[in-house]
Structure 1
Amino acid sequence: MTRLTLGNVVKVTAVLVFLPLIAYLVLVIGAVRKHVGAALEGLLYAAGFSVAVFVLDGAWGPRVLLALAAMGVSAVRAWHRRDLWLPARRRWWKRDLTGSAVVVERNRAQAVVAVEAAQPLPAAVARIRTLAERNRRRLPGDTHRTVLRTCEVLDAVIAAEQREPAGDARFEYELDAVVRQYLPAVLTGYLAIAPSRVQERQPDGRTPDEELTEQLRILAGQADALYASRHRLLTAELSTTGNFLRDKYAHHELDVPDLRIP
């Protein structure tokens, strides 16, 4: 990573040209970057400098001290906040290597998902569990336990479906999507990210760790919903059968032939 870029050189040159107004630099940075904290801090330095220049009288004394203090503190704080206006860039040869690594990891993740799609559902769940166990040290917080619990629920749903198929196309689609697509894609997508970057804030304000936790929570809820839906389908089917039998036989006497010997 380097800050020696053309854009940064132009910015520093502009600061040097307008050096007497450096007390306003933090305010300008905050306003341009829409950073409230920097803008309020810069407003303090700018106000102090403005008071020293336009309000106080005298060639020396408090006026000069206040102006120099505002300029000096603003310059130091601008350097402390350099990430806002002098962003670091990865060197081009490292940038290419990083991009290639990301492409390789993404292709690997897609290949894993493709393998999942070709496997039976129990084998796909077992593969997810193995992947989580193998990378348990990389998974943040309670996400490892969340994956294992989700796999247990999915195993129960799949076993029940294999014993007695519900015959509901939407239910089968949702179960297949969670097991073969969504859950493997979330795990492999997270593991494709370099460990050093899982704490970096993304444009939406979330880190990859937070995204993984949230998405696994959603998938765990979906697994529970499938489990409950499975039992509702069976209960509804049993009730339908019962209603049919009651309507057909409950209010009619069976015509049983008299088989007694005279």
Structure 2
Amino acid sequence: MSRLTMGNIIKAVLAILFSVFVAFYVLLIGLSAKNKKLIIEGAIYAVIFSIAFSLPGDSGAFAGVGSMAVSAVRTFMLRDIWLPRRNQNPKHVTVVQQSAPMHAYHPTAVPAQPVPAPPSFPGAQDDLSTSLTWVNAQAKQNKHRLPADTYVTILETCQMLDSAIDAERRQPSGDARFKYELEAMVREYLPSVLRGYLAIPPSMVGSRQPNGRTPNEELAEQLSLLQGQAEALHGTRHQQTSSDLTTTGNFLRERFGHHQPDGFDFGIK
């Protein structure tokens, strides 16, 4: 889905024209999304930038430029909120209820039994990114129905999962357990939680259930658990990528590090 829409172009042009106020962008994004965490984060950047002018010497300039740089990076990371992609029509995707339980991913744990096949999901032959596209489209389409914090949580979770999927596509890890947990997260757990919440009438999302919790509270807690799982998968996958690169580097240093500049070594002794 493309971001090249008239609204996004106008926003991007305005962001560039007023880039001197980039330290306030995260605060504006948080206010627009009604996300408390982003509002607090953005307020910190804005306060640091504001008081930087009163600091003596180079310390003020360093604080001001630093707050602008960090805010600019965070603004880019949050582009799915203020520069949303065109919504893809989700009608072609049919989702069914799944019953498999969610298990935390522990990279050091080795299952005693063979890893079961990934849970079934309509369109199982599709790329995993298609499932994330559906979740993104549903979240954006129902943005005003979702509690403010949960909307951002869904986008950030999708972003981490998409990064893990991209790394796995580029260089498969060969870890069957990791692949199972990633596919379960993308094709089952995350869509099921979102679908279940959206099936509840808006007038009932604040009503207490027999367990004493409201659907809004349940959604926030379940998405928090899923975000933690996504962080674990994302961190594990990229740590392995870094480890693989180090292993390759060690091999190359061992293999070619002794070469002389005036000769060639083809490994023939």
Q: Provide TM-score, normalisation by structure 2.
A: 0.48
Which protein has the bigger helix share? 1
Q: Provide TM-score, normalisation by structure 1.
A: 0.50
**Larger Rg belongs to:** 1
